[in-house]
Amino acid sequence: MTGVAFLGLGAIGEPMAARVAARFSLAVWNRTGARATALAARVGARAAATPREAAQGAAVIITCLPTSAEVEALLDGPDGLLAGLVPGSLLVDCTSGDPATSRRLAGRLEPLGVGFVDAPVSGGTNGAEAGTLTVMVGGDPQLFDRAAPVLSAFGSRIVRMGPVGSGHAMKAVNNALLAVNILAVGEGLAALVKAGVPAHTALNVLNASSGRSFVSETLVPERVLTGAFPRTFKLTLLQKDAGIAAGLLRDTQVSGPMIELAFRLYGEARARLGEDADYLEAIKVIERQAGVEIRG
């Protein structure tokens, strides 16, 4: 049993799976089957018709779905993952999921002799294509050691964070900080443009000063100033991450008004922009309210 299965070929899952196929014998499954068939033909993988079929014969099964709820729903039923998983296999969830569901999943799989680690990623679709993702793993050290060779197909920094759920906790906090920063950078730049400072001049100075960040150094120049706003990561997914982080703060009894506010503002942006909007389009909401565009 040496094969790998990859379930969930979305914006980030597909390039991750393509890299796994270059190193391992791979079975792929996707809800919309045409995406699995197309990827399988392109990278020399096997397209499975059901999650059960994908899992059969696989030592490592990777999931990358929108939330933990979709991962858990994949387990059950005659064609579900549980029907295909065998003792000794390992489920690696690369979804940006929630810690509590992961702990429950691990608890369900353990009596079956199936391991579980949460292993969400950061680095975007470009990082997935280049194999330079950061992977944040929650789970037993022995399971981490078994997952790492497969994760290294798409990750260049693979870190064990702690027990099951801690990878998801880390990822949620990271993305909540991203959400806070996008909103703050958007607000500040909108005000500067209205005050008569050209956007590119404001960014040049900001990026040589102490307020700079990945958002100001990379995302805004490439995606906002150009007006390109490519759709690589859904706004709905970033809002979900901020919500998981807000829940973590509540669970750990840490007062978290900044992250709560980012979650709420991202919820408002979602209501205005729709389910397909990209995460950086939250800046468009700020621009519309301000009556100005951050371009140039």
Active site residues: 171
- Region binding ligand NDP by CB under 6 A among candidate stretches 29-37, 104-112, 206-214, 261-269: 29-37
Q: Supply the minimum distance, in Å, between the C-beta of residue 64 and ligand NDP.
A: 5
Cβ proximity to ligand NDP, 10 vs 155, nearer residue: 10
Q: Of the candidates 125, 166, 216, 239, which one interacts with ligand NDP according to CB under 6 A?
A: 125
Give phi and psi for 3, each to the nearest 5. -75, 165
- Taking CB under 6 A as the rule, which mask of x and - marks residues 207-236 in contact with ligand NDP? -------------------------xxx--
What letter does residue 221 receive in the DSSP assignment? Answer: I
Q: Of the candidates 10, 84, 115, 243, which one interacts with ligand NDP according to CB under 6 A?
A: 10
CA 7 to chain centre: 14
Q: Of the candidates 38, 43, 57, 66, which one interacts with ligand NDP according to CB under 6 A?
A: 66
Longest Cα–Cα distance of the chain, Å, equals: 65
C-alpha–C-alpha distance, residues 150 and 142, integer Å: 14
Q: Supply the minimum distance, in Å, between the C-beta of residue 208 and ligand NDP.
A: 28
Q: Please, are residues 160 and 144 in contact by the beta-carbon 8 Å criterion?
A: yes
Strands 133-138, 26-29: pairing is unpaired
Q: Looking at beta carbons, which residue is closest to ligand NDP?
A: 10
Cβ proximity to ligand NDP, 80 vs 188, nearer residue: 80
Count of other CB atoms within 10 angstroms of residue 229: 15
Q: Please, are residues 245 and 172 in contact by the beta-carbon 8 Å criterion?
A: yes
C-alpha–C-alpha distance, residues 6 and 94, integer Å: 10
C-alpha–C-alpha distance, residues 135 and 118, integer Å: 10
- Region binding ligand NDP by CB under 6 A among candidate stretches 60-68, 176-184, 203-211, 285-293: 60-68
User: What is the token pair recorded at 4?
Assistant: 């790998």
Cβ proximity to ligand NDP, 28 vs 106, nearer residue: 28
Q: What element of type H or E holds 27? A: strand 26-29
The terminus-to-terminus CA distance of the chain in angstroms comes to 55
- Region binding ligand NDP by CB under 6 A among candidate stretches 59-67, 187-195, 223-231, 246-254: 59-67
Contact between 38 and ligand NDP by CB under 6 A: the answer reads: no
Given the rule CB under 6 A, which residues bind ligand NDP? 8-13, 30-32, 35, 64-66, 70, 95-96, 121-122, 124-125, 232-234, 237
